[in-house]
Amino acid sequence: MSPDSFITKRRVLLLLSITSVLGFALLLAVFRFGPGLAGRMMFYPSPPALPPEIQTDVTNLLAQLELELQTKAPQGLAELKPGLSPEAILEIERKHGLTLPPDIRALYQWRNGQPSGSTNEIIPGHYFQSLEDAVMINKMTQPRGVLDEFILGHQRGWLPIFGDGASDGYFLDTAKTAKPGHFFYHMAEDSHYIYFTSFRNFLAGLNECYAQNIIRYDPAEQVLTEDYQRSQQVWSKYATDVQP
């Protein structure tokens, strides 16, 4: 056997050994904790230290956002659906067994997402889901079976508030609304999370991005754009980035 073949064989055997050990560890975790909890430990890390929580009232933050949208993204603002009444929100919660935090209730009292087929956004690359659509998407993506429970069980309570149509976006975890970090950004492709201390932190960062023209409507391209290098600096004041 040539030296190169010997080295290649050792690498293959080492890879197989590592894979076997990882597979055994995975089976042990599933057996000990159950598929849902084991998947949560692997795919849904707890947020680390988070920035201070914004104390500005959510209604004031939403009023500021509306002013920013009037000048920076009027097309998106014009297409937003009217807000829901408190009674309508409570009925949706009752029907689906949900308890929304006050800030998210205030969001849907302000506006109830975008109509189906709308192409004008208020967050670049993301669609503002109506509360009814967010609940429907959550119901349609519930895990089924042991493998699904392991891979997706931690997403059982996730409501997609602002989604990109491909499983990424800004979510509310309805199972963690009493804990900081219950509103977050998630990119499924690389398990990237951005945990916001609160929804108010997200709104404060969004308003700052609009105020500094980091997010703005490009009339030539007819699309809402974002300077991602500059926006990362803003978001870091309001959220904690967790890379895989």
Low-confidence ranges of the chain (pLDDT < 70): 1-41, 244
pLDDT at 125: 93
pTM of the model: 0.82
Q: What does 12-25 look like in DSSP terms, one character per residue?
A: HHHHHHHHHHHHHH
Alpha carbons within 13 A on the beta-carbon side of 19:
6
Contacts with 136 (C-beta within 8 Å, 6 or more apart), sequence order: none
Q: Are 170 and 123 in contact (CB under 8 A)?
A: yes
pLDDT value for 48: 85
What pLDDT is recorded for position 244? 61
What's the pLDDT at 127?
Answer: 94
Q: What is the signed CA dihedral for 151, 153, 156, 158, rounded to 10 degrees?
A: -50
pLDDT computed for residue 147 by the predictor: 75
**Tell me, what's the pLDDT at 41?**
54
> What pLDDT, on the 0 to 100 scale, is given for residue 156?
85
